Amino acid sequence: MNFKKEPFFDGNSEWEDLGNGVSRQFVGYNSQVMMVIVKFENDAIGALHQHFHSQITYVAEGKFEVTVNGETKVLQKGDGFFAQPNIFHGVKCLEAGQLIDAFTPFREDFLK
């Protein structure tokens, strides 16, 4: 396994285009934790999904309609949410922005 070992993140790392107005950038990770910045264009969707990881998400910019475990709220800069393992969650971008996602353990499925 090839982990990102650099101690600093300067924002210049490559963005990965996920399609449909969504892209992501890795801040750092090892086998225990991963942090990712996810950029959304207006009306982009992070479809409802679930995974065995714990996830904490912070809204760094923009406005999002967020659904966690069947409950939906509009979140904006400074807000966030916590998705327990195996709970369905997803977002719809109402105003272009960025989410900062932290996962434990790391999302091995995100790595090529």
pLDDT (tens digit, 9 = 90+) per residue, 7-58? Answer: 788 778 889 999 999 999 999 888 899 999 999 999 999 999 999 999 999 9
Q: Of 23-32, 54-63, 96-105, where does mean pLDDT reach its minimum?
A: 23-32
pLDDT for position 1: 47
Q: Give the pTM.
A: 0.92
26 Cβ contact partners less than 8 Å away, ≥ 6 residues apart: 4, 13, 34, 35, 36, 110
User: How many whole angstroms separate alpha carbon 61 and alpha carbon 88?
Assistant: 23
At 22, which amino acid appears? Answer: V
pLDDT level of residue 65 (50, 70, 90 thresholds): very high
User: How many whole angstroms separate alpha carbon 4 and alpha carbon 26?
Assistant: 9
Q: Which of 99, 93, 100, 98 is nearest to 42 (CA)?
A: 93
